[in-house]
Structure 1
């Protein structure tokens, strides 16, 4: 069974994001970029399935600028067998919208015929949490989102999800799409020998026109601003004052 894993190049989660002076977008100049953390978890889960002899091949795919090769090489260094880069933008500030990504992935699925797609539940740059669900709709596949545990048995995936009321367990027949949450696993570090081997693993370069997909943006970002600074705390002298304050702000 092939496992397809989409990965996205995003600002590293340790970086403090700054907004450009014209408020058109965030400033990406000289900013460290890395693989989206949820996608890294998806890669790790795919590799574990291969180690259990459930998966036969792990294919990483990224859609974006040419510089996205670095996150694909990271996936290859972790253990993925090969990678596909769909160069869909020249400007690093252009974020390919979820529907366009889903359409491209659907075309790749038709060509590769994977039995399972493992994706991060969302990207930390736009937090849209939509690509996996849109892809499932386009393919007509079953889906299980925000997986914190995954078991593959008898042609189906058993997925445990963390919900407000506790844990929810769902079963979905393969082929299917599973999006991965933080507690699914802890991604491995790529060893130096594997990093060197990754440079020789196949990385196929494609474009949206190769798949006949239009990736022109349909959304316009009007302005980008930083979140407001957190207000200072207030010390109250008594319980009655605390209750009055809570009533004032509408908490009780």
Structure 2
């Protein structure tokens, strides 16, 4: 585990390394890994990987093939992967299987309204409600967030810009490359002054997403004008 740049009860920041960085939320078992030029190889049963390229290019190898990823790109894969070159983070979520995907680079701002003038984009959405997700948080200049908590860990990295995180213990300066963990129920708020800031944030769980009885395919399948989601007799058991 890397030595922490900052450690409080509510915020952990980590130095860059290649390998395991930290064990995270025990309620949704997640391990934070990173790579810094050297090859990171991961092999785990029934485990999904969610990754972000802080600096590219990086070469990602999975069961689906080998891909070159640039700065600001992201990915998800299952069970076995290796990545080398550049710099980035990988969150390993036990007892889950993600869709394989490669996306990005991230956009300048988020597409969804968040709080206190901030915006958010859901980069990797939950396959089903309750599953993990990966987000882009955008903070315009001059932001002073409302202090808040989350019911599960927030894990990620500052991608661009500068700001700070305030916790009851003090203030942690934020700049590109600060890799962090905010423990569940940790009190915090983000602030920016003259600079905007973009943060990549992984959530190990979600309260949003498709459900067996509520998703676009079944909702928009009509039987004599009635959605199939409302007809128990024909829904797949």
Instruction: Mark the structure with the bigger radius of gyration.
Output: 1
| Pairwise TM-score range, normalised by the shorter structure | under 0.3
The structure with the greater share of residues assigned to helix is 1
The structure with the greater share of residues assigned to strand is 2
